[in-house]
Amino acid sequence: MLSSGISSEFILILVARVATFMLVVPIHESAHGLMAKWLGDDTAKREGRITLNPFAHLDPFGMVIMLVVGFGWAKPVPVNISNVKHRRLGYFLISLAGPLSNIIAAFIGAGIYVLTVYAGLAHFDDAAANENAMTVISAVMLFLRYFVTINVGLAVFNLVPLPPLDGFNLLRSFMPASFDRWVWQNYKYIAGAFVVFVLLCSRISEISSKFTYVISIVENWIWFALLKITALFV
C-alpha cells in the first residue's frame, strides 16, 4: 500500500510531470533536431541538442511551469533554415516534429495501459482506485493515465502560435519575411504577452478549461483508437 501522507495522487502527478520532463522533453527537442538533420541542417547535432540528456534542453522557467501546471517548454532547438532545401516545408516539418513526438509518447503510454489490462494484470478501473487504498498496480495505472494526459497537454500547449512555442514556428512557415521582421522588432512585447498568457492559463479557469477541453478530445481519440486496434487482435 502507498502512504497517503500528503496525497498519493498529488505525488503521482508530480512524478508523472518529472518523468515527462526527464524522458519526453528530450525526445521532443531531439525530434526537432533529427528532423532538421534529415532535411540537411546539422546545427542541432553540432550543438549537442540531439540527445536524451534532459539538462541539455533545460529552460529553468519552462521546467518550473511544467512541474507546477503540467505544461511548459524547453530551450528552442537551433536551426539554420538556409541549410534546408525546401525551406517552408522544411520549417513546417521541423516544427511539427516536437508535438508529434508527444502524441506518439501518449500513444505508447496508453498502449502499455491497454496491454496491461488485456494481459489480465490490471483492470480499467484500477486507475480510479481510492487513494487511501491504492496498490502498486493502481499507482502504475494512474501514473500511465497522467503520463498520457501530460503528453497530450504538452502537444496542445506547444501548438499555441506564440514564441517560443512550436505553433509559432508552424505559423512562420506560412508567413512572408516581413512577418519575421515585425516579430523580432516587437519580440519583447510578444514575449511579455506569452508570459501573461501562461499565467492566465494557470489562474483563470475560463481559459484553462478551453485547453482542458481540447486535451480531452485528443486524449479520448487516442484511447478510442487504441481500444479499436487492440480489439482486432484479441
As annotated, the active-site residues are 29
Question: Residue type at 57?
Answer: H
Nearest to 63 by CA among 108, 103, 12, 14: 14
Angle of CA points 201, 98, 55, to nearest 5°:
85
Distance CA 83, CA 39 (A): 8
Cell of 4: 497517503
Grid cell at residue 228 = 479499436
Q: How far apart are the C-alpha atoms of 74 and 79, rounded to whole Å? A: 15
| Residue 112 contacts residue 129 (beta carbons within 8 Å) | no
Rounded distance, CA 201 to CA 196, Å?
9
